[in-house]
Amino acid sequence: MSTQNTILDQVARLMTNAAGAAKGMGDELNTMLRSRAEKAINDFELVQRDEFEAVKRIAIKALDTIDQLEKRISAFEAQGRHTAPLMLRTKERPQNRPRKASGNATRKR
């Protein structure tokens, strides 16, 4: 009987060691897969959640501002108050405005 107990003890130790080795290999595989997944995600150049939320808040605020400005413009137009059209800067100057003398202009002698 003692030989049978010894064999069972050895089998039990072998199973315990095999289970430990299998767990270690599973942990190693899990770490390797996680590392590869993180590398693949980083290659996509995804943004962090907090950065996304910050930009989202900025965009929502900008859209709200646009809505408010559109309402103000509509109110002005409804009241008949028109503002002067915006003049965009161009290289050409209006004909009725004289040019200013630059510092490089030749002086009269």
> Do the Cβ atoms of 31 and 24 come closer than 8 Å?
no
pLDDT for res 85: 56
Residue with tokens 């509509």: 74
Greater confidence, 3 or 86? 3
Question: What's the CA gap between 20 and 3, in Å, rounded?
Answer: 26
| pLDDT confidence bin for 53, thresholds 50/70/90 | very high
> Do the Cβ atoms of 76 and 82 come closer than 8 Å?
yes
Average pLDDT, the chain: 79
Q: What is the pTM of this model?
A: 0.40
How many CA atoms lie less than 13 Å away from 10 in the CB half-sphere? 6
pLDDT for res 88: 52
Residue range 66-101, pLDDT digits in tens:
999 999 999 888 888 665 555 555 555 555 555 555
- Is pLDDT at 108 greater than 60 in this prediction? no
Annotated domain spans of the chain: 1-46, 47-81
pLDDT for res 56: 97
